[in-house]
Amino acid sequence: MRTKHAPLRALEEITGLITSLDSDGLNKLIPIIKSHRNTLASMKKTQLSVGDRVSFGEHMGVIDKINRTRVSCTTDSGVGYNVPISMIEIL
C-alpha cells in the first residue's frame, strides 16, 4: 500500500541517484526527461478543446486555439496569452 509520502520519498531517492551521476550519465538522462515531458504534454493536449475554461499561473480564461506546443487563451479581463501546454489546468 502506498502512503501519501511515497512520491516524496521516491523523488528524494531519484535526486540522490542523479547527484551521483557523472557528466556522461546526465547527458544520457536529459533526453529521457525531455521525452517524458513531451509525452505528458501530448496527453494533456488530447484533453483540451477550444472554448474550455482553464487556468494558467494566476490567470483564468478560455482557450481560443490549440497550437502544437502552446495554447492561445484569452483571460477574463480580455488579455491574450500564448501558454505552454504544460502550464494549462482545465477548470
pLDDT in tens, 49-89: 999 999 999 999 999 999 988 999 999 999 999 999 989 99
3-class SS shares of the chain: helix, strand, coil, % to 5 = 45, 25, 25
Cell 513531451 sits on residue: 38
pLDDT of residue 4: 62
For the domain made up of 6-90, the CATH class stated in words is mainly beta
pLDDT at 3 over 70: no
- Spell out the domain ranges in the chain: 6-90
For residue 39, the Cα-to-chain-centroid distance in whole angstroms is: 10
Q: How far apart are CA 58 and CA 15, in angstroms?
A: 29
Per-chain mean pLDDT for the chain: 90
Under the banding of pLDDT at 50, 70 and 90, the label for residue 1 is very low
Averaged pLDDT for residues 29-44: 90
